[in-house]
Every structure is written in C-alpha cells, then in structure tokens.
Chains A and B, each alone.
Chain A
C-alpha cells in the first residue's frame, strides 16, 4: 500500500529555469495539497486540489506558480522562472474525503 509518492526527491535548477514537481496521492485519495517548508520553519499551505479542480489556492504566490491535478496522472506543481528564494522543500499531501492527511517525503528544490 504505497504512500504519497513525490518525485524527484532532489531538483537543482538555475535561476530563470522551470521546475516541475510531481505527486501521486495515496490510492483512493481524491484530495491533494501542496505545502512549502523553508529551512528551520513550519510548513506553509500553498494549494488544495481535487481532480481537475483547484479548490483553494490562497497560499500560492500570484506569479510564476501553478498547480494542476489532471483526471489522469499525478498532480504537478510548476514554478516558472525560478529565483533563489524558491529554494525550499515542497511537500505534497493527500487525504480521502474525510480522514487523515498523509504527507510524501518531499522534493528538495535548490536554485543555483
């Protein structure tokens, strides 16, 4: 029974490039969340999605960031034209309709 799968685990990009982070939720989970964690800080909510719909994107920066959860395939967090300040650990989580939220092991994004 696989957990929340994120890939890649580590991603290095140069300033101005694009970063794509993928997340496969646990089987049977229809809710996906993305959180960002800066060093020595707690997790900050970014976006909440259900299949093909963005439910809450109140924590998402207005520019350069986008997320999707297509009918088929993993959820994608996309960061365009990355800057040094985007360096962080990005965690995906999933939950069933009503129940506990499970987290993946994250993608560590480093910007050179």
Chain B
C-alpha cells in the first residue's frame, strides 16, 4: 500500500515533442505528489509538485495532471529539449510521515 508505480521505465522523444510519464498509488492518505529530476552523478532536484485539491498544475513547460478518483498522476513535458534528458521520479508522501515514497524512475532521452 506504500508503493508508487511508475511507467514507462524508459522513454525516447523527439525534440519538440511531448514527454508523458505516469504514476499510480494505492494509499489514499497520500496528500503531496512531487516530481524529481535527476542527472547522472547528481541528487534528485524538485521539479514541480501538486496536492490533491487541484487537478492540474503548470510551471513553464512542466505540467502535472492529477486524477484523484483513479489514484493516478502524470508529468507532461511540453516542447521537450535535449537538456531535459534525465531520469524522472514521481513520489508521494502524507502529512505526519515526512518521508517520500518514490516510483522506480523513468529514463527520458530527447533526440535532437
């Protein structure tokens, strides 16, 4: 019940295209859903996060879509660029727990 399942494991997108990564969770107590970007040799960096009282949040080229009834959320990267090539992790946590539960990660490659 603590798991967060992420797909796909790897993704190749052409420059300028839309990258979409999906996550699903079971624990309905989760109330905070961040996405992290990780480059090789670096730690995860927070990209964007959403709480379940909204269905969508947009920051620049990055959008989170959230479906509370389906217990799913996704990251959309518009106009994908080669510099977006990295591993992306979804995560979830709930108030009082502080710790983050991470998905397995998606290795994104943007072809020029």
Does chain B have a CB within 8 A of A4? yes
Does chain A have a CB within 8 A of B42? yes
Does chain B have a CB within 8 A of A43? yes
**Total CB contacts across the A-B interface at under 8 A:** 52
B41, B46, B103: the one within 8 Å of A101 (CB)? B46
The count of chain A contact residues (Cβ–Cβ below 8 Å) is 24
Among A45, A93, A100, the most chain B Cβ lie within 10 Å of the Cβ of: A45
Task: Report the minimal beta-carbon distance from B69 to chain A, rounded to whole angstroms.
Answer: 25
List B contacts of A93 (CB < 8 A). 43
Task: Report the minimal beta-carbon distance from A91 to chain B, rounded to whole angstroms.
Answer: 5
Q: Is the interface of B mostly helix, strand, loop or mixed?
A: loop
* Contact status A45-B43, CB under 8 Å: no
Does chain A have a CB within 8 A of B81? no
* Contact status A42-B42, CB under 8 Å: no
8 contacting pairs across A/B (C-beta < 8 A):
A4-B43, A33-B99, A42-B103, A100-B34, A101-B46, A103-B45, A106-B42, A106-B43
Q: What are the 3 closest A-B residue pairs judged by CB atoms, nearest first?
A: A103-B43, A42-B102, A45-B99
